[in-house]
């Protein structure tokens, strides 16, 4: 059997694709004593770069408010480039939608925590994520949308 017929899965590169920090109400908001409310949104994306090479991204948007005023907002997009070849189509989507984000996510967690700390705030530690459940929910939403319904393509989690 030829080597090129064997399944291939390799990480080519992990990298920070986008990072933004905003403190629109500083320095006045920093004098507030109230407990902030934290809202965390996660999104996944994937695209084929060239044949057998895929970029998978996981984005976290962390919005922290005191009352109605934004204390700070962090948006980070961590990406990975993966070589995936000779994998059956039914398994390929699971690898791209579950396995790859699981590998990218720890880097994203570290970046969000570090940025919060460097901005002068306590670190925000993103919780563990069940990417299998996210993948299944997105597939279900896409099926609803394909059948004429409407569904969000973004998975949202929250923390207070």
Question: In this structure, what token pair is assigned to residue 34?
Answer: 């109230």
Determine the pLDDT at residue 156.
Answer: 42
Task: Please indicate whether residue 140 or residue 10 has the higher confidence score (pLDDT).
Answer: 10
Write out the H or E segment, with its range, that includes residue 41: strand 37-50
In this prediction, residues 55-76 reach a mean pLDDT of 96
Distance separating alpha carbons of residues 112 and 20, to the nearest angstrom: 10
What pLDDT band is residue 149 in, cutting at 50, 70 and 90?
A: low
**14-55 pLDDT tens trace:** 999 999 999 999 898 888 888 899 999 999 999 999 999 999
Which pTM does this prediction carry? Answer: 0.82
Determine the pLDDT at residue 139.
Answer: 81
Determine the pLDDT at residue 116.
Answer: 95
**101-143 pLDDT tens trace:** 999 999 999 999 999 999 999 999 999 999 999 888 888 888 8
Distance separating alpha carbons of residues 93 and 77, to the nearest angstrom: 21
- Does residue 63 surpass a pLDDT of 70? yes
In this prediction, residues 64-70 reach a mean pLDDT of 93
Q: Which fold has domain 3-156?
A: Bacterial Protein-export protein SecB (3.10.420)
For the chain, which residues make up each domain, given as ranges? 3-156
In this prediction, residues 62-82 reach a mean pLDDT of 96
Determine the pLDDT at residue 154.
Answer: 46
Determine the pLDDT at residue 3.
Answer: 52
* Cβ contacts of 61 within 8 Å, gap of 6 or more: 40, 41, 42, 43, 73, 74, 75
């Amino acid at each position: 059997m030829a080597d090129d017929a064997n399944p291939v899965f390799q990480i080519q590169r992990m990298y920070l694709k986008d990072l933004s920090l905003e403190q629109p109400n500083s320095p006045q908001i920093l004098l507030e004593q109230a407990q902030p409310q934290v809202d965390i949104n996660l999104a996944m994306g994937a695209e084929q770069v060239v044949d057998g090479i895929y970029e998978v991204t996981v984005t976290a948007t962390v919005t922290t408010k005191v009352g109605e005023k934004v204390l700070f907002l962090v948006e980070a997009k961590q990406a990975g480039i993966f070589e995936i070849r000779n994998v059956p189509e039914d398994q390929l989507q699971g690898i791209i939608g579950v396995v790859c984000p699981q590998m990218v996510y720890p880097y994203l967690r570290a970046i969000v925590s570090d940025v919060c700390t460097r901005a002068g705030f306590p670190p925000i530690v993103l919780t563990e994520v069940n990417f299998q459940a996210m993948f299944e929910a997105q597939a279900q939403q896409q099926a609803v949308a394909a059948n004429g319904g409407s569904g969000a393509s973004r998975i949202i989690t929250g923390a207070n």
